């Protein structure tokens, strides 16, 4: 069983959190919601789901987790400017563990400076940012590059979830 951190803040894309989170739990893994602070309520931008942070970003260590999932929407913008979030993602990457981001999720990877020399995809609106961060951008439903898994939009969720579960097994 893997322990998976879901990085979350207000304004995340509802299905990009709910579907991978539910799939990870259904596969028997532990899913932990890491927010900007413990107990913070994180609401989806469409209002269909909300979650409470199990732990704050300043309290987590890479050694305690096997993977990180970063849903898209507006949340990655709030997450990427938090030093504790960026430190955590850098440490998880240094350990070679899975980091999966969909839609705007790769914004956190950009701020953690972990895309250089990797292949990646994202929501088209941040495509140039992904390229400028040193990634070889691919317009594909899911891109797996070493320990990173990236996808573009909610329609890519089945492929995104499939690759996350494959990496965890």
Active site residues: 103-104
Query: In a 10 Å sphere around its CB, with 0-12 CB exposed, 13-18 middle and 19+ buried, how is residue 27 labelled?
Result: middle
Q: What is the DSSP letter of 169?
A: -
CB atoms under 10 Å from CB of 127, counted, come to: 17
Please report the domains of the chain, with CATH numbers, ordered by start residue: 3-168 (3.40.50.880)
Residue with tokens 């990236």: 150
Give pLDDT tens digits for 9-52.
999 999 999 999 999 999 999 999 999 999 999 999 999 999 99
| Model confidence pTM above 0.75 | yes
């Amino acid at each position: 069983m893997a322990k998976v951190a879901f990085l979350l803040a207000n304004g995340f894309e509802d299905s990009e959190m709910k579907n991978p989170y539910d799939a990870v739990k259904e596969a028997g893994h532990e899913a932990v919601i890491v927010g900007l602070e413990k107990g913070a309520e994180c609401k989806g931008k469409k209002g269909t789901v909300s979650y409470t942070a199990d732990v704050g970003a300043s309290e987590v260590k890479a050694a305690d987790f096997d993977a990180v999932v970063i849903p898209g929407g507006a949340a990655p913008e709030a997450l990427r400017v938090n030093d504790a979030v960026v430190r955590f993602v850098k440490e998880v990457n240094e350990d070679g563990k899975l980091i999966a981001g969909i839609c705007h999720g790769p914004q956190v990877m950009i701020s953690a400076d972990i895309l250089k020399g990797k292949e990646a995809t994202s929501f088209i609106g941040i495509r140039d940012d992904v390229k400028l961060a040193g990634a070889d951008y691919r317009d594909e439903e899911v891109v797996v590059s070493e320990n990173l898994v990236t996808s573009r939009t909610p329609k890519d969720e089945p492929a995104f979830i499939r690759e996350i579960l494959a990496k965890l097994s």
